[in-house]
Amino acid sequence: MISHQFTSQPPKLTVWNKVSLALWIIACLTLLSFFTFTLFIIALVVGVVFFVLNFFRRGPRTHFPRENETTTFRQTRTYRSDQRRDDDIIDV
């Protein structure tokens, strides 16, 4: 039965079928590119809007050290507990 399918010649496409197939392919690619470009433009506009909102939302710094003020620098301290734990022993 399978050999019966391959022995006969497939029917040839007419010119009208070839033209309509080419037109359908072109129409589908056109629609695909249109919607892809539209989504790209929408994403670009949203990104620009977020950038502009974030750019103008930032205000100037509220605290500048003045000349007559003494500036104090915060020291970063690392706090360690007094108890020593055996963290390097893994019980299986």
Per-residue pLDDT of the chain in tens (92 residues, 90 and over written 9): 565 566 677 788 899 999 999 999 999 999 999 999 999 999 999 999 999 988 887 665 555 555 555 555 555 566 566 566 666 677 66
Q: Which helix (H) or strand (E) holds 44?
A: helix 15-57
Residue 86 vs residues 78, 81, 82, 91: alpha-carbon distances, Å = 20, 13, 13, 11
pLDDT of residue 77: 61
Written as six digits, the tokens of 67 are 């000349």
pLDDT of residue 85: 62
Instruction: Kindly list the domain boundaries of the chain, sorted by start residue.
Output: 16-57
pLDDT of residue 1: 52
Written as six digits, the tokens of 73 are 């620098």
